[in-house]
Amino acid sequence: MARPKSILLFGEGKTDAVFLAHLCHIYRSPAVITKVEHGKGGSDQTVVQAAIKIARLADYSGVLVLLDSDRDDGPIPADWCKKNRLLIKRASPCLESLLLEILGDSKLSKLTNGPRASDRCKAHFQAT
């Protein structure tokens, strides 16, 4: 019998992990085992290193890391991605802005312009 695929879904923080867990619940499949974990924020590289550390505890088929794009920490080294089967996805500028877009929030275009866009999106999402 073939071993089922396994995917580690790793969010930058708790909110990202809740979102990823919800997606796992909606799109669950007996052919794929999913595990959701999250980091404690920090730089992109710090979050990715935390995902790699957890991924090494099990032999995952792949690792998805969800990052906000509100920081310019530079690229994640390509060899990290290849060696650890990482797929990096970004929410722009943050997960809350993606959720506001899904909800069709009319204020989103004003919130995402200029500096501190991520902070504005997070505050508005919490107030919604």
Q: What sign has the CA pseudo-torsion 27, 28, 32, 33? A: positive
Are 56 and 118 in a shared domain?
A: no
CATH of the domain at 80: 3.40.50
What is the number of structural domains in the chain?
2
Consecutive 10-residue runs of the chain (128 residues): their mean pLDDT? 85 93 91 94 92 94 93 87 94 92 92 90 91
Neighbours of 45 (CB within 10 A): 14
Summarised one tens digit per residue, pLDDT across range 84-118 is: 999 999 999 999 999 999 999 999 999 998 889 99
Are 39 and 71 in a shared domain?
A: yes
Are 80 and 118 in a shared domain?
A: no
Are 83 and 38 in a shared domain?
A: yes
Are 84 and 111 in a shared domain?
A: no
Task: Note down the domain range covering 54.
Answer: 5-91
Q: What is the 3-state secondary structure (H, E, C) of 14-77?
A: HHHHHHHHHHHHHCCECCEEEEEEECCCCCHHHHHHHHHHHHCCCCCCEEEEEEECCCCCCCCC
Taking the model in full, what pTM does it have? 0.88
